[in-house]
Amino acid sequence: MAVEKMVMMNVIGDISRVDDVLKDIALSSKVDLVSAMREIEENNMLININHENLERVIDLNDIKSFSKDTSYRQLIQKAEEINKAFNIDIGEASLDGVFLDKDHVRGKIDEIYEQVQHYNEKIKQVEDRLAEIDKFERSFTIPEGFSISIDDLRNLKYFEHKFGILSREDRIRLKRNYENILAAILHVGTNKDGEIYLIIYPQIVKDEMNRILRSVNFNEIVIPETYRGTITEIKGQLDNEKQGLLKEAEDYNKSLEELKEKYKDQFSIILNQLTIKEKIEEYKGYLARSNKFFYLSGWIAEKDRSQIENMLKKYDRLLITINDKTNVKPPTKLRNNWLFRPFEVLLKMYGVPAHDELDPTPFLSISYMLLFGAMFGDLGQGFIILLAGLLMSKRNKLFGGLLERLGFSSMVFGVLYGEVFGIEELIPALVIKPFEEINTVLVAAIIVGIVLILISYILGMVNSIKRRDIEEGLFGKEGLVGFIFYICLLALVGGKLVGKTIMPTGLGIVIILLCVVGMVLKEPLTNLITGKRPLHGDDVSGYYIQSVFSLIEVILSMLSGTISFIRVGAFTLTHVGLFIAFKTIGEMIGTSTGNIIVLIIGNIVVIGLEGLIVFIQGLRLQYYELFSRYYKGDGKEFKPISIK
């Protein structure tokens, strides 16, 4: 439940081993690479200079970046085309193998690719021809009883013919002009596009007939010359051709399967290593090189130091320097247990903690579960959310785990409220029935908010100590002075509201005034303590004007932030009230079946709509009322390189 301590690792090694070193580092998934060129240019790459590594230091004079090799991307594209036919699930069995020679890989890929493409083209030709036949059959749906031979129509000496389709409207238009048309028009069939006609006309009126048929949108059906005989005979030809084509496709697919069996093992290794090689070429962009050596810089967790060193010690002439004191801001790697880890999703939506900042995940987890459960307390509905989380965990483990915990929290508060699927009569309330004690619920919500805000102030002061920020830690609005100011303000205002003296008014006012002075004079007071001169910056008047307005904003945010938690009580009551409305509608229907249906619909609406609203409101309280007091979230997430 903390931020991992990070150290900078600098590696210098023989240029011939760069691919192997990068592969091992990527497989470990424990190193976040940074630009080695930048580290060298900014003198951050620390090297222990002695007789053995003097050559590595001298070689820095010829430092440059790695040139990008794009040839692997081209080979991968070919390999992916091959795998569309092979459909091999590439595992990780070959990740630890020795890299194959690039020329050998290119030759083998080309060899397999040419054979696969040959069969793919043949299969494509067969599929295209089958599609043409299917299209022709769908359009040429003439009853088999049509006994005229297509050959006889083609052999007419002085006449021509056309088969085609007319829509219902166009057919009527054609009929109206029968007396003006010198042609025999025969209706021979029907399909989904319209009516099929055979038009026979003298050759001398060919141009006129073409014009007439175009005017009525005659969609001609062209019968290929290869089809001969009657309709029944043509259909037989089509069936025979389809059977032959299907047999061809089967043979080609069988040949592809034989190719797959022949090359499967080799291809798996090649594709796997090509993927690794492409990743390595990408990661080389972080490295620097000279004529003989490569230079690598990256962050690792302190606890992984020994493991990384042991992994790399097999390489000869490899110099590893690990430094835990650097001016470079390290990335953040969170370490949380199984209970809190899913809430990192919500944390990272706001920002990642810096290395000198507390990890707020535990506080976020506990407080968010508390707020969500309080606003959405129901044993049955909480169980549905828990069940949804269990199912979602198979696809998204973190978000599914988040729903599981929120569902469990809802179930706990459902037991405390005595609610099961919105019904309050099934189980007794262990603590309170919200709708029967509205004032208690609202006051409790504000008290919970005050406690959470006070904890936020404490966390903020701890973060200031970690950052060695005296100004904000002591005199800032979220520092010690702001904390005391908030407590005194609560004591005075709260005492007036409940009619009791929590703190003597005079004492409270004096402390508040001192806190005001401390917040207004935070810069000069800090400079006075640290011995820094001058006490003020260049714009003294601007500083005090800004401080006064900032003070007004502080007072307003303290009051509004505290009152804002009343929404927890409001949504607790809304949750109950909304379901009472559905129960009333169900009772008005007057039948048991109707009542049950309304209750089911009501639960679906409440779980889906109100559950989402409560989820968002809980986030709002975290981000605006709590995080703003103690959390900056301006860190950079630790992202180790990986092959996976």
> Per mean pLDDT, which range of 202-216, 234-248, 453-467, 538-552 is the poorest?
538-552
State pLDDT tens for residues 386-402: 999 999 988 888 899 99
Number of H helices, E strands in the chain: 24, 12
User: Which domain-ending residue is among 169, 197, 222?
Assistant: 222
The answer as to whether 211 is a domain residue is yes
Q: Are residues 351 and 433 in the same domain?
A: yes
**Across residues 290-315, what is the average pLDDT?**
90
429 and 341 assigned to the same domain? yes
Q: Say which residue the tokens 């790695």 belong to.
A: 66
Dist CA 425 CA 284 (whole Å)? 67
CB neighbour class for 68 (10 Å; exposed up to 12, middle 13-18, buried from 19):
exposed
Give a yes or no: residue 57 inside a domain: yes
Distance CA 440, CA 214 (A): 84
Domain-located, residue 113: no
**Residue 361 near residue 336, CB atoms below 8 Å:** yes
State the pLDDT at residue 92: 46
Domain of 33, in residue numbers = 10-66+287-331
* CA distances, 433 to each of 438, 523, 574 (Å): 9, 51, 13
Using one digit for the tens of pLDDT, what is the confidence trace for 12-48?
888 888 988 998 998 899 999 999 888 888 777 766 6
Q: Is the pLDDT of residue 639 over 90?
A: yes
User: Who's near 319: CB < 8 A, 6+ residues apart?
Assistant: 11, 12, 13, 47, 48, 53, 56
Q: Compute the distance between CA of residue 544 and CA of residue 533 in angstroms, rounded to an integer.
A: 18
Higher pLDDT, 52 or 511: 511
Of 205, 222, 239, the residue that ends a domain is 222
Separation of CA 259 from chain center? 38
118 domain residue, yes or no: no
Q: Kindly state whether residue 241 falls inside one of the protein's structural domains.
A: no
- Do residues 366 and 352 share a domain? yes
The CATH number of whichever domain residue 213 belongs to comes to 3.30.70.2750
On whether both 295 and 376 belong to a single domain, the answer is: no
Residue 494 has a pLDDT of: 82
The band of 538, judged by pLDDT with boundaries at 50, 70 and 90, is low
Query: What is the C-alpha separation between 535 and 65, in angstroms, rounded?
Result: 47
Q: Render 202-239 in DSSP notation, one character per residue.
A: EGGGHHHHHHHHHHTT-EEE---TT--SSHHHHHHHHH
Contact 322, 305 (CB under 8 A): yes
Mean pLDDT of the chain: 85
Q: How far is CA 11 from CA 39, 455, 533, in A?
A: 12, 43, 43
What lies within 8 Å, CB to CB, of 92 at 6+ separation is 272, 644
* Pair 366, 308 in one domain: no
Domain co-membership, 193 together with 341:
no
Rounded CA separation 591/136 (Å) = 59
As a whole number, mean pLDDT of residues 607-612 equals 89
Q: What pLDDT is recorded for position 187? A: 84
Query: What pLDDT score does 458 carry?
Result: 93
Task: Indicate the number of domains in the chain.
Answer: 3
393 and 319 in a common domain:
no
Query: Is 578 contained in some domain?
Result: yes
291 and 322 assigned to the same domain: yes
Same domain? 303 vs 390: no
CA angle 468, 474, 478 (to 5 degrees): 100
Shared domain check, 321 and 399? no
Give the model's pLDDT for residue 60.
Answer: 61
Check whether 93 has a pLDDT greater than 50: no
pLDDT value of residue 55: 60
Q: How confident is the model at residue 220 (pLDDT cuts 50, 70, 90)?
A: confident
For residues 231 and 81, the model is more confident at 81
Looking at the fold, whether 171 and 196 belong to one and the same domain comes out as: yes
What is the pTM (predicted TM-score) of this model?
0.75
Q: Provide the pLDDT for residue 50.
A: 56
Mean predicted confidence (pLDDT) in 161-184: 82
Tens-digit pLDDT profile for residues 511-524: 888 888 888 888 88
Which has the higher per-residue pLDDT, 96 or 613? 613
**Residue range 407-422, pLDDT digits in tens:** 999 999 999 999 998 8
The pLDDT-based confidence of 174 (bands split at 50, 70, 90) is confident
pLDDT for 581: 84
pLDDT in tens, 350-385: 999 988 889 999 999 999 999 999 999 999 999 999
**Out of 57-61, 162-166, 500-504, which region has the weakest mean confidence (pLDDT)?**
57-61
Whether residue 561 is predicted with pLDDT greater than 90 in this model: the reply is no
Q: Does 96 map to a domain?
A: no
Q: Quick check: helix, strand or coil at residue 384?
A: helix
pLDDT of residue 68: 77
Cα-based distances in Å from 189 to 140, 196, 608, 615: 8, 5, 55, 63
Q: Is residue 420 part of a domain?
A: yes
